[in-house]
Amino acid sequence: MSETCKRILWIDDEVEFLRSHVVFLETRGYAVSTASGGDDGIRLIRGAGDPFDIVLLDKQMPVKSGAATLDEIKTYWPHLPVIMLTGYQHAADAVMEKKYDGYLTKPVDPAALLGTCKQIIEGKEQTSRKFTGRYMRGYTENKALLGGELSASGWMNLYTSLSRWDLEIDAAGEGVRQMQAGLKSDGGAMFCDFVIDNYAQWASGRPGRPLMAVDVLGKVIGPELAKGRGVLMVVLSGMTLGQFLAIEPVIKRIFSVTATRFMSALPTMPNFCVPALSAGMYPGAVDELEPGVFGTGVGACDPVVMKRLMRTALERAGAGKVKTHYARADGANGRRHLKAAVDTMKKAQTYGVLLADIVNKFTDTPAGKQPKEALPGDAELRRMIESWFVNSAALLAMREVCSDTCTVIVTSDHGHTRCGRASEIYETSRVGPSLRNMFGTRISVDEREVFMLEELPHFKLPQLAPGTKCLMARENYYFAAPGKCGGSRKKSVNKLQSGGISLQEMIMPLYVCRPFGSGGRQQDEQLAALI
C-alpha cells in the first residue's frame, strides 16, 4: 500500500447500503474497510497491522450504540480521529463532550464526507509534524546520554524520559516509532550490562548505590512511622514505570505527592521482590528466617509469611509497637481485604501492605489455553490500566486512608517486559512456567541472551541445592527448550513476563501521598536526596 493511501474504517449497521459512498472514497485514493457493528469495528482496530487514519461511526446502531463504541475507541486509541454520522442536525448533540473530531448529518453528502475526512487527516498530519520536531530534539539528547557513561540515577532519568515519550508516540508516524523502539532496544542491552556489573556491589551495601527495594522500608517508610503516622503501601505488582506515568496525573490531582524511583530486587519475581520491598530483606535473608520457603508451594508472598517478615523488620527497626497488616487486594476476596485494611489503618498506627497483580488482571489466560484475542499493545494496556485505576477500589481505599495521621505509598515491586526473542536453554528437557527466570543445576545458556548466576550469595539469593544456578533473561528474551524455539514462539512471543533483567522490570516509581496542605517538606527533601 502506498504511503499516501489513507485508511478509513466505516462502522455502520447498514453499511451494505453505503457501497456508493465507499466506492466514491476509494476512487479518491482512500482504502476503506467496513464493519456492521461496534464490536466488529473494535476488533478491526485492535487487529489492524497498519493503523486506521480515521473512523466513520454511525451514532444509532443496535446492540452496541455509536456512543458506547466511541467511548471505547477514545479510551484505548485517543489519537484516532472519529467522525460521527447522526440523523440529528443539532451541533450540541453531536459534540458529545467533544469526544469526537467531527460530525455529519444523514443522508451523508459524498463531497462533504470527502472534505471532512481530508480536513481532519491533514490536521492530524500537521500535529504529527510538530510532534516529530519535538521528538527529534529529545531523541538527540537521549542518544547522546547513551553514548556516555551513565550512573544508576542517569539510567533512571533516561528511562523516565523514554517512558514519557511513549505516552505521546501514538501521535507520531511510523518512522518516529521505529526510532523510539531502536533507542529503547540499544539502551536496554546496555542497561543489562550495567546491572550485571554492579548489582552484587549494590547488594553488599556499596556507598552511593541507588535507592534499592530493600531501602524503602528504612528510608521512606521508617521516617513516617517515627513521626507517629501509619503507612499504607499499595503495591500494584507488575506495573512498569510507563504505566505509572499514565496514572500519575490522577494521583497528583487527589494527593500531595512526592515521587522517587528505585531499583527492584533480582530476580524480578513477586516471590523475591515483595519481601524485599515490604520487609527490606533480600531473598537470602528471607530464607534464613523462613527456611525452605522458596522451595515450597507456599512461597514468600504468602500472607502468613509476609506478616512474620514485616513484624521482624519493624522490631529490628525499633518500631515493634506499630501494628502490621498484609493482604491481597485482587481476586474474589479483594474488596473484602481492602475494606479490612482501611478499617485497620483507621484504628491504630499500622504499617499495611496491599498487593494486587495488575498486569495479569488484563492479560491472564487459563493455563493451556490460547487467548481469544491478541494481547493488548503497550499503549492500549496503559490506557486500560488508567481507565481501571480511576474507578478502582484500590484508589478509593487510598483516599479513605490518606490523612494527617496516615501516609499512603503507591508503587510496584517489579515490572514486566514483552517477550520478543527466544533463547534456548541447553541440557534441560523443559522450561518452567516462568519464561524469564529459572533455577537449575545442569544447564547452560547463550550468555549474550541470558545471565547465568553461579554464585547465588553474591546477589543475596538463597543457596538452595549445591551447584544451583539462577538464570535471568536479558532484554526481551524468553526461555525455550532445545529445538523448540519455533513451537515456543507461537505460544510465548508477545507475552508479558517478568523474572529477568530489563529497564521495564527493574526501574520502579514510588509515590508518597499525603493530603494537600499537610506539610511533609522535610520528608520531601530527604526523598529528593535519595537519588
- How far apart CA 352 and CA 328 sit, in angstroms, is 11
Contact 461, 283 (CB under 8 A): yes
Residues 422 and 406 grouped into a single domain: no
What does the DSSP assignment read for 201-237? HHHTT-TTPPPBGGGHIIIIIHHHHHTT-EEEEEEEE
Which three cell numbers mark 8?
478509513
Position 332 in a domain? yes
Domain containing residue 266: 211-415+505-530
CATH number where 75 lies: 3.40.50.2300
Residue 287 carries which side chain, given as an amino acid letter? D
Position 480 in a domain? yes
Q: C-alpha angle 369/374/493, rounded to 5°?
A: 75
What pLDDT score was predicted for residue 294? 84
Which three cell numbers mark 370?
490460547
Residues 518 and 440 grouped into a single domain: no
Closest by alpha carbon to 56, among 109, 96, 113? Answer: 113
Position 515 in a domain? yes
What pLDDT score was predicted for residue 531? 44
Contact 183, 162 (CB under 8 A): yes
Report the C-alpha dihedral over residues 277, 278, 279, 280, rounded to 10 degrees: 20
Number of H helices, E strands in the chain: 20, 18
What pLDDT score was predicted for residue 365? 45
Task: Compute and round to an integer the Cα radius of gyration of the chain.
Answer: 25
Residues 192 and 251 grouped into a single domain: no
Strand order in the sheet with 437-440: 437-440, 469-473, 450-453
CB atoms within 10 A of CB 72: 16
Where a domain ends, among 202, 232, 249? 202
Where a domain ends, among 44, 73, 108? 108
What pLDDT score was predicted for residue 369? 44
Closest by alpha carbon to 234, among 405, 382, 386, 407? Answer: 407
Position 216 in a domain? yes
Residues 407 and 433 grouped into a single domain: no
Contact 436, 519 (CB under 8 A): no
Residues 319 and 435 grouped into a single domain: no
Residues 394 and 361 grouped into a single domain: yes
What pLDDT score was predicted for residue 518? 65
**Strand, coil or helix: what is 514?**
strand
Q: pTM here?
A: 0.83
- How far apart CA 259 and CA 84 sit, in angstroms, is 41
- Describe the chain by its helix, strand, coil percentages, rounded to 5: 50, 20, 30
Where a domain ends, among 202, 221, 249? 202
Contact 61, 150 (CB under 8 A): no
Give the total number of structural domains in the chain. 4
Residues 188 and 248 grouped into a single domain: no
Residue 297 carries which side chain, given as an amino acid letter? G
Burial (CB count within 10 angstroms: exposed 0-12, middle 13-18, buried 19+), residue 3: exposed
Residues 146 and 168 grouped into a single domain: yes
Closest by alpha carbon to 438, among 479, 382, 400, 406? Answer: 479
What pLDDT score was predicted for residue 524? 52
Residues 34 and 151 grouped into a single domain: no
**Strand, coil or helix: what is 90?**
coil
Query: In the chain, what's the furthest Cα-to-Cα distance?
Result: 78
Position 118 in a domain? no
Residue 399 carries which side chain, given as an amino acid letter? R
Contact 351, 325 (CB under 8 A): yes
Position 144 in a domain? yes
Closest by alpha carbon to 96, among 120, 75, 68? Answer: 68
Q: How far is CA 357 from CA 270, 274, 325, 409, 441, in A?
A: 9, 11, 18, 16, 30
CATH number where 351 lies: 3.40.720
Residues 393 and 433 grouped into a single domain: no
Contact 504, 238 (CB under 8 A): no
- Kind and range of the H or E run holding 352: strand 350-357
Residues 266 and 315 grouped into a single domain: yes
Taken as a whole, the chain contains a residue count of 531
Position 354 in a domain? yes
Mean pLDDT by 10 residues, the chain (531 residues): 75 90 92 93 85 91 90 85 78 52 86 90 81 89 93 96 90 81 95 97 93 97 96 97 96 96 96 96 94 74 93 95 94 90 95 92 55 72 91 94 96 95 77 80 90 94 87 94 62 87 98 82 51 44
Closest by alpha carbon to 1, among 57, 77, 53? Answer: 53
Position 52 in a domain? yes
Cis before 107 (ω within 30): yes
**Strand, coil or helix: what is 7?**
strand
What pLDDT score was predicted for residue 88? 62
Burial (CB count within 10 angstroms: exposed 0-12, middle 13-18, buried 19+), residue 178: exposed
Residues 143 and 265 grouped into a single domain: no
Which three cell numbers mark 486?
519455533
- How far apart CA 417 and CA 239 sit, in angstroms, is 10
